[in-house]
Amino acid sequence: MRAVDLIAKKRDGGALSSDEIFWLIDAYTAGVVADYQMAAWAMAVVLRGMDVRETTDLTLAMARSGDMLDLHDIAPITVDKHSTGGVGDKTTLVLAPLAAAVGLRVAKMSGRGLGFSGGTVDKLESIPGFRTTLSTAEFRTAVERHGLVVAGQTADLAPADKKLYALRDVTATVESIPLIAASVMSKKLAAGADCIVLDVKYGQGAFMRTLDDARQLAQSMVAIGQRAGRRVSAVLSSMEQPLGLGIGNALEVREAIATLRGNGPPDLVELCRVLGAQLVQLAGLAADEAGARALLQRALDEGKAWERFCAMVAFQGGDLHAIEGADALLPTAPVVVPLRAPQRGYVAAIDGQSLGLAVNELGGGRERKEDTIDPAVGLVLAAKVGDLVEPDAPLLAIHAANAADAARIAPRLLAAYRLSTTPTAAPPLIEEIVA
Q: Is residue 180 part of the contact set for ligand URA (CB under 6 A)?
A: yes
Beta bridge partners of 109: 151
Which phi and psi angles does 146 have, rounded to 5°?
Answer: -115, -5
Cβ proximity to ligand URA: between 186 and 281 the closer is 186
Among 318, 305, 306, 316, residue whose Cα is nearest residue 141 = 316
Q: How far is residue 403's CA from residue 315's CA, in Å, rounded to a whole number?
A: 38
> Does residue 316 touch ligand URA according to CB under 6 A?
no
Minimum separation from the CB atom of position 180 to ligand URA (A):
4
Q: Does residue 183 touch ligand URA according to CB under 6 A?
A: yes
The active-site residue out of 140, 187, 304, 366 is 187
Q: Which residue is nearest to ligand URA (CB)?
A: 183
What is d(CA 192, CA 327) in angstroms, rounded to the nearest whole number? 34
The site for ligand URA, by CB under 6 A, has a size of 6
CA distance linking residue 296 with residue 273, whole number of Å: 7
Pattern 113-152, binding to ligand URA, x per CB under 6 A? ----------------------------------------
CB of 66 to ligand URA, least distance (A): 15
**Pseudo-torsion of CA 355, 356, 362, 364, nearest 10°?**
150
Q: CA-CA distance, 282 to 162, in Å (whole number)? A: 29
CA gap 15, 49 in Å, rounded: 9
The answer to whether 168 is a known catalytic residue is: yes
Cα-Cα end-to-end distance for the chain: 37
Active site residue 384: no
Min dist CB 206 to ligand URA, Å, is 11
In order of 95, 99, 291, the CA distances from 276 in angstroms are: 6, 6, 11
Q: How far is the CB of 184 from ligand URA (least distance, A)?
A: 5
Taking contact as CB under 6 A, which single stretch among the options 7-15, 176-184, 254-262, 320-328 is the one that binds ligand URA?
176-184
Dihedral of CA atoms 41, 45, 46, 50 in degrees, nearest 10, equals -170
List the catalytic residue out of 57, 89, 122, 161. 161
Nearer to ligand URA, 184 or 279 (CB): 184
Is the Cβ of residue 83 or residue 259 nearer to ligand URA in the bound state?
A: 83
Identified catalytic residue from 10, 82, 215, 399: 82
For ligand URA, the binding residues in 28-47 under the rule CB under 6 A are: none
Distances (CA, A) of 167 to 161, 207, 281, 300, 340: 10, 18, 38, 43, 43
Rounded Cα gap, residues 311 and 314, in angstroms? 5
Would you call 153 helix, strand, or coil by DSSP? coil
The contact pattern for ligand URA, residues 152-171, with x = CB under 6 A and - = no contact, is: -------------x------
Residue 184 binds to ligand URA (criterion: CB under 6 A): yes
For residue 349, the surrounding DSSP H or E stretch is strand 345-350
Q: How far is the CB of 259 from ligand URA (least distance, A)?
A: 25
Provide, rounded to whole angstroms, the least separation between the CB of residue 179 and ligand URA.
Answer: 6
Smaller CB separation from ligand URA, 179 or 275: 179
> Which range of residues in 120-128, 147-155, 179-187, 395-403 is near ligand URA by CB under 6 A?
179-187
CB of 174 to ligand URA, least distance (A): 6
Active-site residue 82, yes or no?
Answer: yes
Residue 174 interacts with ligand URA (CB under 6 A)? Answer: yes
85 backbone dihedrals φ, ψ, rounded to 5°: 95, 135
Task: Show which residues are catalytic.
Answer: 82, 161, 168, 183, 187
Residue ranges binding ligand URA (CB under 6 A)? 165, 174, 179-180, 183-184
